Amino acid sequence: MHHHGFHSTENYGSAREAASGHGSGHGHAHGHQAPAAAGQPASDVHTRAGTGTWNGPAPTGMRGVANQAAAASGPVREPETVRLSNGVRLPLIGLGTAAIKDPAAIKAALELGYRHIDCAWFYGNEEVVGDGLADFIASGRRDELFVVSKVWNTHHRPEAVRRSVDESLSKLRCGHLDLLLMHWPEAWTPESSFEAPVEDTGVTIAETWAAMEALVDEGRVKALGVSNFSLKQVEALLATCRIRPVVNQVELHPLCPQRKLVGVLFRHGVQCVAYSPLGGQSLVKPNTLLNSPLVEKIAKEVGKSPAQLLLKWNIQRGVPIIAKSSSPDRLAENLSGMYDWKLSYEHKAALDELVAAAGGKEERFIDFPWKAWADPEEGGVAKPSKVMGL
């Protein structure tokens, strides 16, 4: 029923199991993991006690029990990676390189322990990133890195896909890409600008994907994925592709949890990765999440910063995050000690209610006039109300 790379996260079943005291007998731990400290539950990422990806507040009758089972009573050691469907481990905390202008920021991140490096042709700074990676790679440590780049909207034609990746590899100087993503499912003509895009009707997603697959065949790219795809779009790609996507990188945080997308794709063997896990950096619209009173209140209760709290919300449900910063202090805050603690079930449930407080409508901070987002209920199993037209 589940993909062989399946790992589960905390859900209603976890709460029921805490109440009964019985294990599910379906553990899916991958590789070595240190045992949890006394009184601590195992990681949400590496245990399975119910029906799948954590899906918000447990039913009222379960909350007290779940809180007792997950209450922090000592140190824990959470997993630092997830296993992708191709068997490769992806670090749960990645470094976003957009807007980084100094190789020193990359070098500082590597020194702190970052190994998942998220780049893109569109960011226009892959040469800077390459300068930052150069000494690390020259020391013979390339295999420690997981380097990602992306095919931009104006590069969807097969010959442009190849030119784009050639350029990225030349600037990054990392030998190969561990993961290549299609940045958006929108194809634009070569002369298009971000402010004035023109749809390229002469190429399909399937043709772009086939060009990406050829780069895997040649060994220049190890794995493929997508970004900003809807569930329906990923399912359409899965139905026709030769090499399956291992990742869909999308905006994910408590105001935009996209639970159906995360859960259904997970069962297809496609791991969602969160960009803008803090709600964005006010580049497109003001960030109302990071400094919200509820986030600040819970952060104070758990003794962490609001940023650490929001990163943990995704990490604890088994979703890798891309955190962007060039500040050494923020780089350290986003990584150091993040695997040594857990949110209680009640704290996770409280964060989950942010959407309800906003009227039940998910809020995106990365949104553009040219992007028409799909109905989140499209794809997967339709809600009965949808089927019945209610």
Residues annotated as catalytic are: 123
**Residue found by looking up tokens 């809020």 in the block:** 363
Rounded Cα distance between 160 and 240, Å, is 21
Task: Mark out the alpha helices in the chain (DSSP H runs).
Answer: 12-20, 60-70, 103-112, 126-138, 158-172, 205-217, 231-240, 259-267, 293-302, 306-315, 328-335, 345-357, 384-387
H or E stretch at 9: none
Concatenating the DSSP letter of every residue in 14-52 gives HHHHHHHT---S-----S--PPPPTTPPPPSTT---SSS
Q: Which residues contact 349 (CB under 8 A, 6 or more apart)?
A: 56, 57, 58, 63
Bridge partners (DSSP) of residue 30 are none
3-state SS, residue 146: strand
Q: Which of 23, 22, 9 is nearest to 52 (CA)?
A: 9
Residue 227 to residue 237: CA distance in whole angstroms: 13
End-to-end CA distance of the chain: 30
Tell me the β-bridge partners of 324.
Answer: 96
- Give the count of beta carbons closer than 10 Å to the beta carbon of residue 132: 24
